[in-house]
């Protein structure tokens, strides 16, 4: 049961991204809308559906199979997945497109739910554009780490999700001295235990790309240190990064369609 501690009123809360500078208590805002988090989950779902439809049109594979079940490697490569030999051939845009692709419906659902849950903690603190920018940086960091570690195939938003998890865990730890009592466990031990458990699972489950998870996590831990008590980059920088990422993805898929 949550303890009866008065929460800050909306007028006492700083705008997104300025929490630390304002020095107000770290607080779980359960009422704040999450446009960026839901938009991100929606994009992942849309990419999964569109890629399944596109593949079913050009290959003799039932749509429902492509939507629900494990996608063969040929399909994952054909819709923009990360494949080491194709990256070595110069298709570097796959480092980006693979962040939005998933192997099956379970993979997609787990990542989408995780991103919305992490968004509930992080988006009210840093703002929507920064959340998306951190997802992009974590996803690219995970893709690069996976490639460097020698994984032949790697897809999914897990690198970006691990980046958001690492970032909020660091922020919660750094702000523990002035976190509201009712939220202190969540932003402290609970997050770190959850993070540790996910890292352990990444090593134990053979079908998981542990390098991609650790790469995204490393990026997130560094990003969580960025705000500190210093102003971060302006929101337009985050916006430019997100738009550039989407442009690279669109360009890569365009090349696939034209080939």
- Judged against a pLDDT cut of 50, whether residue 64 lies above it is answered with yes
| Contact (Cβ atoms closer than 8 angstroms) between residue 59 and residue 71 | no
70, 124, 153 from 208: Cα distances, Å:
14, 30, 11
pLDDT band, residue 11 (cuts 50/70/90): very low
What's the residue count for the chain? 259
| Residue 158: active-site member | yes
Across the chain, what does the average pLDDT equal? 87
Please give the structure tokens belonging to residue 215.
């790469």
Instruction: Report CA 188 to chain centroid distance, whole Å.
Output: 20
DSSP state of 190: I
Give the mean model confidence (pLDDT) for residues 59-68: 85
Exposure of 86 by Cβ count < 10 A (0-12 exposed, 13-18 middle, 19+ buried)?
middle
- Judged against a pLDDT cut of 60, whether residue 191 lies above it is answered with yes
DSSP helix/strand/coil, 135: helix
Enumerate domains of the chain plus CATH numbers. 31-75+82-258 (1.20.1540.10)
For the beta carbon of residue 92, count every other beta carbon within 10 angstroms. Answer: 15
- What was the pLDDT predicted at 161? 98
Out of 158, 178, 202, 258, pick the active-site residue: 158
Q: By mean pLDDT, which of 88-92, 114-118, 234-238 is the weakest?
A: 234-238
Q: CA-CA distance, 1 to 53, in Å (whole number)?
A: 46
Q: CA-CA distance, 63 to 66, in Å (whole number)?
A: 5
- What was the pLDDT predicted at 22? 42
Please give the structure tokens belonging to residue 217.
């996590």
DSSP state of 217: H
- What was the pLDDT predicted at 240? 97
Instruction: Give all strands (DSSP E) within 78-145, no chain letters.
Output: 82-83
pLDDT band, residue 231 (cuts 50/70/90): low
Stronger pLDDT, 236 or 86, i.e. the higher one: 86
pLDDT band, residue 79 (cuts 50/70/90): very high
- What was the pLDDT predicted at 23? 52
- What was the pLDDT predicted at 200? 96
- Judged against a pLDDT cut of 90, whether residue 10 lies above it is answered with no
């Amino acid at each position: 049961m949550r303890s009866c501690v008065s929460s800050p009123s909306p007028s006492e809360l700083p705008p997104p991204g300025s929490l630390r500078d304002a020095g107000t208590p770290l607080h779980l805002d359960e009422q704040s809308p999450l446009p960026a988090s839901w938009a991100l989950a929606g994009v992942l779902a849309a990419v999964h559906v569109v890629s399944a439809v596109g593949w079913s049109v050009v290959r003799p594979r039932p749509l429902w199979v492509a939507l629900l079940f494990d996608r063969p490697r040929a399909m994952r490569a054909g819709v923009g997945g990360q494949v080491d030999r194709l990256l070595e051939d110069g298709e570097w845009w796959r480092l980006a497109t693979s962040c939005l692709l998933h192997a099956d419906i379970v993979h997609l659902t787990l990542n989408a739910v995780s991103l919305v849950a992490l968004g509930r903690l992080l988006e009210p603190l840093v703002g929507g554009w920064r959340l998306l920018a951190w997802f992009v940086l974590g996803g690219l960091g995970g893709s690069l780490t996976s490639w460097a570690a020698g994984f032949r195939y790697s897809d999914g938003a897990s690198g970006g999700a691990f980046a958001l998890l690492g970032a909020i865990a660091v922020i919660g730890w750094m702000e523990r001295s002035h976190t509201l009592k009712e939220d202190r466990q969540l932003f402290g031990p609970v997050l770190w235990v959850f993070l540790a458990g996910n890292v352990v699972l990444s090593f134990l489950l053979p079908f998981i790309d542990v390098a991609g998870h650790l790469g995204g996590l490393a990026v997130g831990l560094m990003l969580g240190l960025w705000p500190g008590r210093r102003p971060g980059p302006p929101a337009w920088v985050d916006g430019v990064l997100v738009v550039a990422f989407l442009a690279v993805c669109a360009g890569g898929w365009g090349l696939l369609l034209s080939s």
